[in-house]
Structure 1
Amino acid sequence: MQLRVTFVAAARSSSLLTERFEDDRPLDQAGWDQVLAVAPELLPLAAAELRYCSPTPRSRATGDALGYAPLVQLALRDCDMGRWRGLTLGEAMAREPESVDAWLADPRSTPHGGESLLAFVARVGEWLDTRPMEDGGRVVAVVEPAVVRAALVYVLKAPPSTFWNIDVRPLSAITVTGRAGRWNLRFEGVSAQHTRA
């Protein structure tokens, strides 16, 4: 039996330029407007047997607004950024440029005193691998964009540096199928019969 896990990136709580590490702010008005705009496309995911979310206010609010009534999963929390929590990347760079450079270059580093990129990817991967098969074939998880990126690095068995090359937009959805240790990235779209002119 295979599981089908769809990750939905939470709606925004700020502009991309003001994104903060481990951002605990609620959805802003633009985020609510985005949820309303895409709800018809994402509402069918509420039929999943298991529905989860990151513990952040915006992940919970996004899941609730889409009718998922998700259960909070601590394993799906954002990367622990230690003393950089609440800072933007620019603010961290202004305070500790060498530390930020080391963190971006080495996935094992923890100059902020929190969690390494490798540990973060492993945590998200362990959550994915421990989803119970008997509880249902479909899972939806509303999570922070960084969690989606970590899941993709894990599923694709990609080098950790790939994390920095994955762009996850608010309310985008990505599906993986498989079981523990054997995951596939699944792209869905219009069937061939609908693309003929």
Structure 2
Amino acid sequence: MPLRVTFVAAARSSPLLAERFQDDRPLDQAGWDEVQSVAGDLLPLAAAELRYCSPTPRSRATGDALGYAPLVQLALRDCDMGRWRGLTLGEAMAREPDAVDAWLADPRSTPHGGESLLAFITRVAGWLDTRPVGDGGRIVAVAEPSVIRAALVYVLKAPPSTYWNIDVRPLSATTVTGRAGRWNLRLDGVFAQPSRT
């Protein structure tokens, strides 16, 4: 039987337009309210044999609030954005427009001094491929939307530029099934989605 890995996107700690690179802020009250509004849909995932999360405060808090008691996985950390850490895309663009353009155009570029998009996707893929298979176990991983986008690029064997075309909503659940190097995207039911801009 294939392994089943369900990624749950962490609740937001800010409105979408205020999202920051490598945002380490905890959940705000609106984020907590969003978790509570979808908890009934996501709580059954706590039955997974293995439960993980990204090291960000909001991923850990989301996993804890959903009753997962997840183990932190450093490989599921957000992309290292170097000197752009803590900036919004607009702020980075205002400071270094040519560098941002290069970063968006070339998945191997690191104009911010951090990790390239390609290296980020490869790191997340490595984590996925090293999950224990056993007898077709279930895994749940609460992660930043960027981490889930990176996993989906790998699972779909898509070009790295596809990363920019995947929208992962907070508190959405995305499941992949398979084993190392052979993954499939599985589309299940739709979970309730909070509406917050």
Q: Within 5 A, what are the aligned runs for 1:29-44? A: 29-44=29-44
Structure 2 counterpart of 1:117: 117
- Preserved contact between residue 4 and residue 136 of structure 2 (Cα < 8 Å): no
Structure 2 counterpart of 1:161: 161
1:30 CA drift (Å): 1.0
Q: CA RMSD in A?
A: 1.0
- Preserved contact between residue 22 and residue 81 of structure 1 (Cα < 8 Å): yes
Structure 2 unaligned segments of length 5 or more: list them. 191-197
1:135 CA drift (Å): 7.9
Structure 1 counterpart of 2:12: 12
Which secondary structure state, in structure 2, belongs to the residue aligned with residue 133 of structure 1?
Answer: coil
- Preserved contact between residue 49 and residue 136 of structure 1 (Cα < 8 Å): no
Q: What count of residue pairs does the alignment treat as equivalent?
A: 190
Q: What per-residue deviation string (whole Å, max 9, x for no partner) do you get for residues 20-63 of structure 1?
A: 00000000111101000000000000000000000000000000
- Preserved contact between residue 78 and residue 144 of structure 1 (Cα < 8 Å): yes
Structure 1 unaligned segments of length 5 or more: list them. 191-197
Structure 2 counterpart of 1:194: none
Structure 2 counterpart of 1:128: 128
Which secondary structure state, in structure 1, belongs to the residue aligned with residue 91 of structure 2?
Answer: helix
Structure 2 counterpart of 1:86: 86
Calculate percent identity across the aligned residue pairs: 87
Higher helix share: 1
Q: Within 5 A, what are the aligned runs for 1:42-61? A: 42-61=42-61
Cα distance in 1 between the residues matched to 2:136 and 2:88: 39
Q: What per-residue deviation string (whole Å, max 9, x for no partner) do you get for residues 113-169 of structure 1?
A: 000000000000000000011286100000000000000000000011100000111
Structure 2 counterpart of 1:72: 72
| Structure 2 length-normalised TM | 0.95
Cα distance in 2 between the residues matched to 1:136 and 1:26: 34
Opposite residue 156 of structure 1, the aligned amino acid is L
- Preserved contact between residue 11 and residue 59 of structure 2 (Cα < 8 Å): yes
Structure 2 counterpart of 1:189: 189
